Structure 1
Amino acid sequence: MYYLLEDLYFPPVSEADEEGILAIGGDLNPERLKLAYKSGIFPWFNEGEPILWWAPDPRMVLFLDELIVSKSMRNILNRNQFTVTFNTAFKEVILNCQQIKRDGQNGTWISDQMIEAYCVLNAEGIAKSVEVWQDEVLVGGLYGIDLGHVFCGESMFSKVSNASKTAFISLVNYLKKENYKLLDCQVYNSHLESLGCREIDRDEFMSILKSK
């Protein structure tokens, strides 16, 4: 495992261990974060622990044409139960992602330090959010890193049923319209699989990432 120093550098993703951990240490400086995402790497660690940098193999992604929208979800969208906005309340979204209680998880990996760093990237137009509102109350959303041809999803939250799915589907529809190549979802979970996401080899992911 590579230990990062002050230099703005990451080793090749092929050097990640079997778990997908590539490097440890460093900081959440915006320039380091931008280099990480452009290199197929993302930070994921518990608060109070050293920063871990990941480049897993396989990689969970969504090819945009493979999105699965259930009949019941289509009915919800057609009823206009929610109002969706893009990048109008980034900090509120990331704070909700930090604070929402999740089954099987104690605490959160979204530290205050991470929130501060991603808000800087939002101000630079790189980190973006999707917000879902009901009666003018923020009830769901997601955020991630926009690389212009690949969107790297980071986290999402839902306070009412189907709000995070609405954010996800709305994001995918936007990315399709703008001719993005891929939505990066990082690591497997069954909820993402139900929406059409699947695992691909890291080499294939890197080829798409570098194809801009």
Structure 2
Amino acid sequence: MSGKAPRVFDAETRSDPDFPWLEVDERFSFPDPEDACGSVVAVGGNLSPGMIVSAYTQGIFPWFNEDDPLYWQSPDPRFVITPESFHVPSRLSRVIRQGKFDITADREFERVITWCSAITRDDQDGSWITDDMAEAFIRLHRLGIAHSVEAWKDGHLVGGLYGVQIGAVFFGESMFTRVSDASKTAFAVFADAFFNRMGGALIDSQVYTDHIARFGGMNISRLAYLRKLRDFFGNTDASSLLRPGLWVNF
């Protein structure tokens, strides 16, 4: 197998005191994901705002289990939605027209991430949204970079999703549902607004899921994905692509 072993900053901790804490306008250069042996590009460091923003703009994201070190990953292939591929299944379109759910943005970010963290996957012993991961994204939300979309029914939070927006790219992290169609409706309403009203060019869903495939999600090679990011971001400082403050109204 070709490729380099992942760069190790500190494999024993997710908050190395000797590793610099990067503010949101500070950047770190990760190893090139195309040189990685597998999906793990680097191990360790910390979950400071500047590290996370740096990672996303380079096609990398933090993904690890509770007892793991901090893994920075860039899977191949990458699962994405584009404006051209996006569509809403006809049955769900009827649900949206019927107004079964009220959809909001950035109203209950912390509750959304708490519900998402309660979800476990079949191949994991626990949630990948650890306490320190949740804290990291709450920091990004307070900086106006991480966002949530909520689905409400009769005044109760019944579904939602969260992720990070940098420029024309939304990096989806997780979603949850407590009522059938709640998270699907939240995603459909958000994606339509993102592509058609907010100038969005790509939703990155990281890895394949049946849920997102229904909306036109497709696998592309890591190389193609990285090229898209370079086209979107170019040599622009990521700080100028961040959009703090009011995000979107549905």
Instruction: Give the TM-score range, shorter chain.
Output: over 0.9
Deviations 1:34-82 (A, max 9, x none): 1111111001100121011111121100012322322211111010000
| Deviation, structure 1 residue 190 | 2.2
RMSD: 1.5
More strand by share: 1
Which whole-Å CA distance do the structure 2 matches of 1:70 and 1:174 have between them? 16
- Aligned with 1:146: secondary structure? strand
The runs of 5 or more residues in structure 1 that have no matched partner are none
Q: Percent identity?
A: 40
User: Corresponding residue for 2:65?
Assistant: 46
Which whole-Å CA distance do the structure 1 matches of 2:106 and 2:84 have between them? 23
The runs of 5 or more residues in structure 2 that have no matched partner are 1-5, 11-18, 21-27, 233-250
2:151 is aligned with what amino acid?
A: V
From 200, 223, 246, the counterpart of 1:203: 223
User: Corresponding residue for 2:187?
Assistant: 168
User: Corresponding residue for 1:77?
Assistant: 96
Assess if the C-alpha contact under 8 Å between 2:102 and 2:153 holds in 1.
Answer: yes
More helix by share: 1
| Deviation, structure 1 residue 178 | 1.3
Q: Kindly tell me: are residues 139 and 51 of structure 1, through their superposed partners in 2, closer, same or farther at Cα, counting changes over 3 Å?
A: same
- Aligned with 1:92: secondary structure? helix
- Give the greater-gyration-radius structure (CA): 2
Which whole-Å CA distance do the structure 1 matches of 2:48 and 2:198 have between them? 29
Find out whether 1:94 has 2:113 as its counterpart.
yes
1:83 is aligned with what amino acid?
A: D
1:59 is aligned with what amino acid?
A: R
User: Corresponding residue for 1:126?
Assistant: 145
Give the total of aligned pairs: 211
Find out whether 1:3 has 2:23 as its counterpart.
no
Q: Which runs of 4+ in 1 moved over 4 A?
A: 101-105
**Is 5-14 or 44-53 further displaced after alignment?**
5-14
| Deviation, structure 1 residue 102 | 5.0
